[in-house]
Amino acid sequence: MMLLTSLVPFCLLAAAAVAVPAQEKRIHHQADLSDHAHDDAHGYKYDHEAFLGKEEAKTFDQLSPEESKARLAKIVDRIDTDKDGYISHAELHYWIKHRQRRYIEENVNKHWHDYDKNQDGKIGWEEYKNTTYGYYLGEEFDDIEDKATYKAMLTRDERRFKGADRDADGIATREEFTAFLHPEEYDHMRDVIVQETMEDIDKNRDGKVDLSEYIGDMYTPEGDGEPEPDWVVTERKHFYEFRDTNKDGYMDAAEVANWILPGEVDHADNEAKHLIHETDTNKDEKITKKEILANWNMFVGSQATNYGEDLTKRHDEL
């Protein structure tokens, strides 16, 4: 029985909410590719993490230049999926997106064996439900103090599972289970995210979010007469000026979707364009292995480049 384990994603969300401003906690921003500034004049740390992923970039920093270039050559062969000898924008974009999703894949792998009890490579809804809630199902959560919350969690989990189960067979493949655990990564899960957000904020259950519910989700005054922080005053203005687009005094589901799932810049797309622009010597809008290896230190690091960047950093500090 893994009821407590199943709460881990909720705890992570709560921790994330503390780490960001309260007014940002509901918004699903697309994460940048690196925490480093994208400034090639001062090094290629951003490009290395974008191209390899953060953990793999650290591994390359420990390699000799020769080993780094040799491994990069093998990576180029993997990126060239159509084996035409060129890396297109589409191939490079797909590679970067894939590398950035590794943390998601690792999270799914961590939970997979807990739920795939019969080890058939799939997770049925009954497997997930029984593993997560099994002990309590027969008792209808009667021995849990806040049983209404756990019943609501079960209902939400089932709805999200069905949303992720695209062929509606009651069984999740690894990709479908990934959509279940990380719905923000999948366009077809948008409605599920919006519905869950509406349920969290719409306290009077009238199917829409009014100003008090909107502010109440972000801010609770500590005492009577406490003046509102400036950011709360700003959010009140934002509700009327930007959130409530049809000016009826409420946010409906579509308006909530525009708020929490904003259309954003595709960082992987921009990075693919950047790397091609910087290494495409004949300007045919695609790059060869020769062109990549001629600019290898833009794509991957090594002991030499890492040492050189450290020297530059120390010089700047002086």
How do residues 94-135 score in pLDDT, each as one tens digit? 999 988 888 788 889 989 989 998 889 999 999 999 888 876
The radius of gyration of the chain's CA atoms, rounded to the nearest angstrom, is: 24
Strand residues in the chain grouped as ranges (E): 86-87, 123-124, 171-172, 287-288
The tens digit of pLDDT for each residue in 206-261 reads 999 999 999 999 999 887 778 899 999 999 999 999 999 999 999 999 999 999 98
Q: What is the pLDDT of residue 288?
A: 97
Question: DSSP 3-state helix, strand, coil percentages of the chain (rounded to 5)?
Answer: 65, 5, 35
Whether 7 shows a pLDDT value over 60: the answer reads no
Q: What angle do CA 289, 105, 54 make, to 5 degrees?
A: 55
d(CA 265, CA 27): 15
pTM: 0.67
- Burial category of 292 from C-beta neighbours within 10 Å (exposed 0-12, middle 13-18, buried 19 and up): buried
Q: What angle do CA 137, 161, 266 make, to 5 degrees?
A: 145
The tens digit of pLDDT for each residue in 124-172 reads 999 999 888 876 665 566 666 777 888 889 999 999 999 999 999 999 9
Q: What is the pLDDT of residue 318?
A: 43
Give the domain ranges of the chain: 3-13+102-228
Contact of 239 with 211, CB cutoff 8 Å: yes
Q: What is the pLDDT of residue 33?
A: 85
Contact of 164 with 189, CB cutoff 8 Å: yes
Taking residues 263-286, what's their average pLDDT? Answer: 92
